[in-house]
């Protein structure tokens, strides 16, 4: 065995040991606290004190776990969710030696725009670039990027446009990069029905309705998107507090209107959107995940497998797992992050 082969074997053995240790720790915690349902509400895990960092046009709120000198992992949430989608993923990865960063997206939680004059833009490349700006501010050159929903789209965009910043990728529901041109094409009626809220948000009535009933609206989305997830009110309320962000409604409405070409983006992002509209391939190591009970719109994994030109694997997570996969199946998500690091 050569010296290089010995080093590679040592690193592989270390990763396997850390992965096993992390999973043993989580299993022990679950055994002492009871079922997933019992951990909800008052007994739920917490991130503790959050941090704030100026990054680009934002002051970003984020949770951090694990050793500061560990390999970086950035985990991105979606709509209508927040950082607590990763509240049980983060300690697993921290126990395995990773430095875990979980930021609030623009329009959520403690993330704020630095200027009242900044356009409240929700277009996909703007949201993705926020993570690049945060990594720059934290002096993180490369990270494993994981995400679902909006966060999955941002993770895909980062891997496509800035592969040098993305060591590996874990994306729920696969390839989520879109274009305004592609979104103009009508879908079959059954598929269009799944996007009912997108058309609601296209109206002024929809904007006012979401503003007035944002918690009721979001809880309905949770129930539709994860029909078998037995979350309790305390779990929902903990996340729903992040929707009180003063820019939340503006960002959400602009995001969905922009997708349909009903709202303009900003010219400074045109170069990114032009590249994304070409269906940019992703060549970083990737694991895509899908829950077996995902009630949100999602494509068949076979339809996007060809978009990943690097080492690639798709996993179906069973057991009634819905759209909020990191929170519903935290061990499976964390294991994907650890495994893709070994690709």
Burial of 107 (C-beta count, 10 Å sphere; 0-12/13-18/19+): buried
Question: What is the average pLDDT value for the chain, to the nearest integer?
Answer: 90
Per-residue pLDDT of 32-42, as tens digits, reads 323 334 344 44
Nearest to 184 by CA among 128, 263, 119, 261: 261
Per-residue pLDDT of 168-225, as tens digits, reads 999 999 999 999 988 989 999 999 999 999 999 999 999 999 999 999 999 999 999 9
Q: What is the pLDDT of residue 268?
A: 97
pTM for this model (two decimals): 0.88
Per-residue pLDDT of 71-126, as tens digits, reads 999 999 999 999 999 999 999 999 999 999 999 999 999 999 999 999 999 999 99
Positive/negative CA dihedral, 43, 320, 302, 221: negative
Distance from chain centroid for Cα 233: 22
CB 105 within 8 A of CB 80: no
Q: What is the pLDDT of residue 313?
A: 98
CB 229 within 8 A of CB 222: yes
Enumerate domains of the chain plus CATH numbers.
3-340 (3.40.50.1820)
Nearest to 14 by CA among 334, 338, 330: 338
Exposure of 236 in the CB half-sphere (CA atoms within 13 A): 17
Mean pLDDT of 226-253: 98
List Cα–Cα distances, 84 to 8, 112, 184, 260, in angstroms.
Answer: 35, 18, 33, 29
Q: What is the pLDDT of residue 1?
A: 52
Q: What is the pLDDT of residue 280?
A: 87
């Amino acid at each position: 065995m050569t010296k290089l082969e010995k080093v590679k074997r040592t690193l592989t053995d270390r990763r396997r040991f850390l992965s096993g240790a992390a999973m043993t720790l989580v299993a022990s915690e679950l055994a002492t606290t009871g079922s997933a349902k019992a951990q909800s509400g008052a007994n739920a895990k917490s991130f503790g004190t959050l941090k704030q960092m100026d990054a680009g046009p934002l002051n970003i709120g984020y949770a951090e776990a694990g050793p500061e000198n560990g390999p970086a992992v950035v985990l991105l949430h979606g709509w209508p969710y927040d950082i607590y989608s990763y509240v049980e993923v983060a300690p697993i990865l921290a126990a395995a030696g990773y430095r875990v960063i979980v930021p609030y997206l623009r329009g959520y939680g403690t993330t704020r725009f630095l200027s009242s004059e900044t356009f409240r833009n929700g277009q996909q490349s703007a949201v993705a670039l926020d993570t690049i700006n945060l990594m720059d501010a934290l002096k993180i050159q490369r990270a494993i990027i994981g995400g679902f929903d909006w966060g999955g789209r941002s993770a895909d965009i980062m891997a496509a446009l800035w592969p040098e910043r993305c060591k590996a990728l874990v994306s729920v529901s696969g390839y989520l990069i879109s274009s305004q041109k592609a979104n103009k094409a009508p879908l079959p009626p059954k598929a269009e029905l799944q996007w009912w809220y997108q058309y609601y948000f296209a109206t002024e009535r929809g904007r006012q309705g979401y503003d007035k009933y944002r918690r009721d609206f979001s809880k309905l989305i949770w129930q539709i998107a994860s029909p078998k997830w037995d979350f309790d009110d305390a779990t929902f309320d903990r996340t729903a507090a992040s929707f009180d962000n003063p820019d939340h409604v503006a960002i959400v409405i602009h995001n969905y209107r922009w997708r349909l070409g009903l709202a303009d983006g900003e010219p400074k992002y045109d170069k990114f959107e032009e590249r994304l509209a070409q269906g940019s391939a992703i060549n970083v190591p990737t694991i895509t995940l899908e829950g077996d009970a995902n009630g949100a719109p999602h494509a068949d994994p076979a339809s996007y497998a060809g978009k990943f030109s690097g080492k690639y694997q798709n996993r179906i997570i069973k057991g009634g797992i819905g759209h909020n996969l990191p929170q519903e199946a935290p061990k499976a998500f964390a294991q994907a992050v650890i495994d893709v690091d070994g690709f």
